[in-house]
Amino acid sequence: MNKIKSISSSILPILKSVLIGLVVTLVGVVAFAVVLKFADVGSSVVAYVNDVIKAIAIFFTVFVLKKKGVNQLLVKSIIAAVLYAVLSFVIFSILNGGFKFNITFLYDLLFAIIVAVIASVVLNLVRKN
């Protein structure tokens, strides 16, 4: 029973932070879609803005983990980043009407891990107030 409680206390904060990160992503994408509706933006800009939205969401995911007082923030941040990348791929594939697995997903996965590592290091360096 204690082992199950320990596992759930480790997994639950990760799942909550990933879900919050996904909500941040969806809000960012919808806000950017509204901007695109009224502004003429080149297609090359869209990819960069999507990456910034993902980076903000992943940073926020790690921030939520840090606020929850999670032990081993770096390891759990990487796990959360991988879970975030997989779930965002699934969600946006469903919204696009089909799964198209290609090298872009692997780049997104690597990007998510790099942002999570940077965010966890930065947040560990920031002192508690």
Share of the chain above pLDDT 70, in %: 90
Please give the Cα distance from 83 to 18 (Å, whole number). Answer: 7
Q: What confidence score (pLDDT) does residue 81 get?
A: 96
Is the separation of the CB atoms in 57 and 85 below 8 Å?
no
Higher-pLDDT residue of 26 and 98 is 26
Which domain range does residue 19 map to? 2-125
- pLDDT value at 110 more than 90: yes
In the chain, what percentage of residues exceed pLDDT 90?
50
Q: State how far the Cα of 112 lies from the Cα of 25, in Å rounded to an integer.
A: 13
Average pLDDT over residues 104-117: 94
pTM of the model: 0.86
> What is the tally of structural domains in the chain?
1
Tens-digit pLDDT profile for residues 43-93: 788 889 999 999 999 999 999 998 887 778 899 999 999 999 999 999 888
Nearest CA to 126 out of 73, 51, 58 is that of 73
Q: Which of 17, 5, 22, 3 is nearest to 73 (CA)?
A: 17
pLDDT at 111 over 70: yes
**Strand, coil or helix: what is 5?**
helix
Degrees (nearest 5) of the Cα angle 79, 84, 87? 125
For residue 41, what pLDDT is reported? 78
